[in-house]
Amino acid sequence: MRADVIVVNMLRGIDILLMIFVVYDAGSAYKILVVFPIPGMSHAILGEGYVKPLLEAGHEVTYITPIPTKNATGNLREIIVSSNFNIMQTEQVLNIEKILYKKIDLHDLSGIMYLAIMLANNTGLDGNVQRLLHDPKEKFDVVIVEWFLSEVLCGFASVFNCPLIWASSMEPHWMALSIIDDYLNPTYTADIFSSNIPPYTFAQRIVALWSHLKNAYKKWSVSGVESEIYQNIFSSAGAERGRTLPPFSEAKYNGSLMFGNSHVSSGQSLRLPQNYKPIAGYHIDPEIKPLQKDLKEVMDVATHGVIYFSMGSLLKSTQIPDTIIRGIVDVFAGLKQTVIWKYEEKLHNIPKNLQVLQWAPQQTILAHPNCVLFITHGGLLSTTEAIHFGVPIIGVPMFGDQFINVDRAVNKGFAKRVDLDFETPVNLKTAIEDILQNPRYKEKVKTLSFVHHHRPIHPKAEILHWVEHVVRTRGAPHLRSPALHVPWYQKVYLDLAALMMALLLLIYFVAITLYTSLRQEHVCQHKKLN
Ligand SMILES: *[C@@H]1O[C@H](CO)[C@@H](O)[C@H](O)[C@H]1NC(C)=O
């Protein structure tokens, strides 16, 4: 056996030992409710990333999701909220043509926040979800809820009277962190969906402050609606169990822990509270599935390397206008490399070095040693996988956090950004040449890949550890940030400032009064003397 194969097998052995240890240590199986309401493939992958290791460790999982889990084994019960797809109406909300002609503002937080609240509402009011909530026999040891711009679904923990764990699908930013700790300082942290990267210039610092304040106001302004939806979904179920639910304004700050799909290798090194656990990469199986035979042959013989091109699963690249598609095909035709393109339809007249696949095993392709470049929309899963497998990227961002993901990757030095417009083919060609000729991109991504892998414990094992910790310590109160109990005006010492102002005013008035009365006396004496 080759040495590297032996090492890999040993590592797998350790992994299995670790799992057994965790299960043994848990002593008993827990009843866990996992809620991932967003109807998108990447969110489903992130949800399954929790469900599968919990099942493997022997726990009993109830999973509320719009997308059924494939190949799950163990004690799993699913509640499929497929009607969430009607809310999203992906084709209408996210449409490449609209993006191309700038008909929608994709940095618009209000729209996405509204969508998130509607999805939470639809999930909570689903018939089967309501039956679960109203069944007095249903009990859970812990609830894991995806945090995606809204806290409405914290109510599951209120109804089942058990600890709440947030699963944040994005890089940490003030909006997520403020529900377990505090707002972040805008002078050195990027706002949600902002493309500016610290250190900031004076102007950028002002923009950052304005953007934080504006978005904090937007978030605050929907809290009334969220509170109503929370009551509407959960209060009757609580009442049936003889409990008055805590108000939304308290329940939403009652998370024991937040898992974050983030890591310093792909994001910023932020100041994080004790109960935030960065576990990016947890959705990637340590054991890579083998490539199907024909694809393996294509990749094995590509002596100049393979370029993998995928625009993700939410947007369909078939919506890209034909002229751009033909332009991109022509660029690929001029390359020595083999190109694998995940494209939902058949393409005609394609060059020999281009393979079009309707579905592609992304992780397995990226793991192949001949994969030299990944052209991606820049979703957080894709940028994380690029770092995990050490492949430089060209990002073509279109939506939400993709802009900031790609800009961060560019800033970290393993990526180039190309925007989607009619200039895309030309710009893509330049970017491909630059990345393939300049070794610095590859070197940089290999360094980050090392950072990504070099952790004391695998993120899957970390999930099992912290879930167990929260259950066994009844909500891990010792991990809560004291910042949650301090009102904002006290944090900025506004009360002290007010006191100082009052004192200064007092001194001023006392001085004035003394002065005038002394003066009057003086005037009187003067008159008497005369
Ligand atoms: C907060 O969560 C704990 C369990 O972690 C629970 O006992 C408590 O009642 C909850 N409080 C509120 C206000 O939701």
Give the distance (Å) from ligand 1 centre to CA of residue 163.
7
* Range 257-273 average pLDDT: 93
Rounded Cα distance between 292 and 340, Å, is 14
Per the listing, tokens 């940095």 go with 107
Rounded Cα distance between 484 and 315, Å, is 38
Q: Is 158 in the pocket of ligand 1 (CB under 6 A)?
A: yes
For the CA of 477, the nearest atom of ligand 1 = 5
Are the C-beta atoms of 251 and 272 separated by less than 8 Å? no
What was the pLDDT predicted at 321? 83
Rounded Cα distance between 238 and 136, Å, is 10
pLDDT tens digit sequence for 106-120? 567 888 888 899 999
Rounded Cα distance between 138 and 145, Å, is 17
- Residue 260 reports pLDDT greater than 50: yes
Q: Is 256 in the pocket of ligand 1 (CB under 6 A)?
A: yes
* Range 261-266 average pLDDT: 94
What was the pLDDT predicted at 20? 47
What was the pLDDT predicted at 218? 94
What was the pLDDT predicted at 163? 98
CA neighbor of 239 nearest in space, from 344, 155, 162, 116 = 155
- Residue 7 reports pLDDT greater than 50: no
97 phi, psi to nearest 5 deg: -60, -40
pLDDT tens digit sequence for 410-466? 999 999 999 988 899 999 999 999 999 999 999 999 999 999 999 999 999 999 999
Rounded Cα distance between 347 and 266, Å, is 34
Rounded Cα distance between 323 and 334, Å, is 17
Bridge partner list, 165 = 144, 257
Rounded Cα distance between 253 and 273, Å, is 14
Task: Give the mutation target among 245, 250, 254, 478 for probing the ligand 1 site: most ligand atoms within 8 A of CB.
Answer: 254
- Residue 268 reports pLDDT greater than 50: yes
Distances (CA, A) of 298 to 159, 288, 307: 54, 18, 12
Q: What percent of the chain has pLDDT over 70?
A: 89
Q: Is 54 in the pocket of ligand 1 (CB under 6 A)?
A: no
- Residue 103 reports pLDDT greater than 70: no
Give the distance (Å) from ligand 1 centre to CA of residue 324.
54
Mean pLDDT of all residues belonging to the chain = 89
- Residue 26 reports pLDDT greater than 50: no
275 phi, psi to nearest 5 deg: -100, 20
Which stretch of DSSP H or E encloses residue 376?
strand 371-376
* Helical residues (DSSP H) of 101-201, grouped into ranges: 109-125, 127-134, 155-160, 174-177
- Residue 361 reports pLDDT greater than 80: yes
* Range 344-370 average pLDDT: 90
Q: Is 254 in the pocket of ligand 1 (CB under 6 A)?
A: yes
Amino acid at 503: L
Long-range (24+ apart) CB contacts under 8 A made by 109-116 are 109/149, 109/192, 109/193, 109/215, 109/218, 110/218, 112/149, 112/400, 113/149, 113/150, 113/218, 113/219, 113/222, 114/222, 115/87, 115/88, 116/38, 116/148, 116/149, 116/150
Are the C-beta atoms of 460 and 53 separated by less than 8 Å? yes
Question: 273 vs 399, which has greater pLDDT?
Answer: 273
Tokens of 335: 């390359």
Query: In the structure, what pLDDT confidence band is assigned to residue 318 with cuts at 50, 70 and 90?
Result: low
Of the CA atoms within 13 Å of residue 518, those in its CB half-sphere come to 6
Query: In the structure, what pLDDT confidence band is assigned to residue 1 with cuts at 50, 70 and 90?
Result: very low
